[in-house]
Amino acid sequence: MKQLFKHITLILLIALSACNDRTEYRVDPEFEPYVTLFTAEAALRGYHFNFEQTGLIIEFADLKDNKAGLCHFEKPIRIEIDKSYWKAIGEYPGGNLLREHLIFHEMGHGILDRDHLNQLLPNGDWKSLMCGGERVDGKSWNINYADERRTYYLQELFDKNTAMPDFADPVFSADSSGFENVFFLSFDSESKSDAGWSMTDVISHKISIENKRLRFESKSEAAFFVLVRPAVDVLTDFIFELDMECHSNDINAQSGIVFGSNEAGNESLEYFSVNKRNSVFTGNKNMYSFRVELRPENVSKSGRQKFKVLNNNSKNYMFLNDKYIYNLSYTHNGNGNSFGFLVPPGATIWLDNLRVAIKNSGQSMRVSKSVELNTFEVFEEKVFFREIY
Ligand SMILES: [Zn+2]
């Protein structure tokens, strides 16, 4: 009986495929621009596709198990894109790149016949846009798909043998000399010049000095961005560093430093953070998700980390516990002078030695006129560190 059933299925399949249009072209208008772009990028590299002639189906679906896209190896290739994910990422800055990343990944499978490739570059970035499938050490699939990295990932998509890109060089090579402190908090006493923020105990949080460190206790279910505004524009070359220890019951809670612009309409906060799984993240508060999850070996097991970011020639170089780990292109649109730290919901953190330095004093006056100097802010915000699937 089972055998008969199998035969019937087989006959049905043959019958179905016989009446299928094997060259059907049906791409939802939402996906068209990305298919056009894929065709153009392919042509630059000697691959000439004409999907309207050879067939391609890309359609919306409700995918299970947090899948964002799915490629079916049928004639023609049929790609399903999860409707809610597509809509969600489109609502954030950079969403068009996440969409491109998703379509190109699926077309990598279906059109370029590429399998998943889960290797890392020397700096911890995924080696390929084609990462996916079975998780590797629980590391998320987020790819920093922007700027010079986008150029690399596009090239790698069409050519697996693409050389290691410069951004992935694990050796620090920028110039970090000649920086002078313009702002420093030692947290040795409660005086304003030492502690910066006022000592306070309110319903949402408590700030105090404990053993010559600033103690910030969150009593909130939201994350805190705690900022100071020194006379340094984030668009100039600067060094920002801070010692930080975080105690949280949530192994996924991220604590770290934040910096960015606060110009009206252009607010943008970058974060550089760690969690208790020894993962390091870089991201921007405005974006759908963190850019990338890194697993450097020098995350301190004690929970006390020294974060440092050097902004040099529009690039951020990140250091953790005095070791260089990552760089990325600078993405702020507006001027501003927000520097501070991120406290996860319900966590307690201790800070020491907050330092902001600039390359030379001539630069420091590029501060927006509307910005007050050395003002201290605490604001609560629901932040979700989503993942990209
Ligand atoms: Zn895949």
213 has a pLDDT exceeding 70? yes
Kindly state the average pLDDT of the residues 323-345: 88
Torsion of CA 74, 106, 108, 119, to 10 degrees: -130
CA of 135 to the centre of ligand 1 (A): 12
Band (pLDDT 50/70/90 cuts) for residue 14 is very low
Percent of the chain having pLDDT more than 90?
Answer: 71
Q: What is the pLDDT of residues 28-43, one digit of tens each?
A: 999 999 999 999 999 9
CA of 254 to the centre of ligand 1 (A): 27
CA of 9 to the centre of ligand 1 (A): 28
Kindly state the average pLDDT of the residues 340-362: 91
Burial bucket for residue 131 (CB in 10 Å: 0-12, 13-18, 19+) = buried
**Which has the higher per-residue pLDDT, 192 or 370?**
192
341 has a pLDDT exceeding 80? yes
Residues 6+ apart with CB under 8 A from 299: 274, 278, 279, 280, 305, 320, 321
Going from the C-alpha of 132 to that of each of 114, 117, 280, the distances in angstroms are 12, 7, 19
pLDDT of residue 389: 60
Cα gap 174→177, rounded to integer Å: 9
Band (pLDDT 50/70/90 cuts) for residue 371 is very low
269 has a pLDDT exceeding 80? yes
Q: Find the distance separating the first CA and the last CA of the chain, reported in whole Å.
A: 41
CA of 345 to the centre of ligand 1 (A): 33
CA of 201 to the centre of ligand 1 (A): 49
360 has a pLDDT exceeding 80? no
Cα gap 355→336, rounded to integer Å: 17
CA of 115 to the centre of ligand 1 (A): 7
CA of 116 to the centre of ligand 1 (A): 6
CA of 188 to the centre of ligand 1 (A): 52
**Which has the higher per-residue pLDDT, 123 or 359?**
123
332 has a pLDDT exceeding 70? no
CA of 69 to the centre of ligand 1 (A): 8
CA of 112 to the centre of ligand 1 (A): 12
Cα gap 223→200, rounded to integer Å: 18
Kindly state the average pLDDT of the residues 131-138: 90
pLDDT of residue 192: 86
pLDDT of residue 314: 86
CA of 259 to the centre of ligand 1 (A): 34
Q: What is the pLDDT of residues 137-175, one digit of tens each?
A: 889 999 999 999 999 999 999 999 999 999 999 999 888
CA of 271 to the centre of ligand 1 (A): 28
pLDDT of residue 113: 96
Q: Rounded mean pLDDT of the chain?
A: 89
CA of 70 to the centre of ligand 1 (A): 7
Least Cα distance to 200 among 223, 177, 219 occurs for: 219
CA of 337 to the centre of ligand 1 (A): 40
CA of 100 to the centre of ligand 1 (A): 14
Q: What is the pLDDT of residues 66-85, one digit of tens each?
A: 899 999 999 999 999 999 99
CA of 207 to the centre of ligand 1 (A): 46
CA of 110 to the centre of ligand 1 (A): 10
Q: For 54-68, 109-123, 359-373, which range has the lowest pLDDT when averaged over its residues? A: 359-373
CA of 117 to the centre of ligand 1 (A): 9
Band (pLDDT 50/70/90 cuts) for residue 9 is very low
CA of 140 to the centre of ligand 1 (A): 13
3 has a pLDDT exceeding 70? no
Least Cα distance to 350 among 211, 251, 250, 235 occurs for: 211
DSSP state of 116: -
pLDDT of residue 34: 98
CA of 136 to the centre of ligand 1 (A): 14
Percent of the chain having pLDDT more than 70?
Answer: 89
Cα gap 247→329, rounded to integer Å: 31
CB 307 within 8 A of CB 294: no
CA of 106 to the centre of ligand 1 (A): 6
381 has a pLDDT exceeding 80? no
pLDDT of residue 388: 62
361 has a pLDDT exceeding 60? no
Going from the C-alpha of 13 to that of each of 22, 77, 317, 374, the distances in angstroms are 14, 16, 56, 71
- Taken in order of first residue, the domains within the chain and their CATH numbers are 19-168 (3.40.390), 182-381 (2.60.120.560)
pLDDT of residue 5: 47
DSSP strand pairing (56-61 vs 25-27)? parallel
Band (pLDDT 50/70/90 cuts) for residue 65 is confident
Q: Which residues pair with 209 in a beta bridge?
A: 214
CA of 111 to the centre of ligand 1 (A): 12
CA of 357 to the centre of ligand 1 (A): 44
pLDDT of residue 262: 79
CA of 6 to the centre of ligand 1 (A): 30
pLDDT of residue 370: 42
253 has a pLDDT exceeding 80? yes
pLDDT of residue 2: 45
pLDDT of residue 6: 46
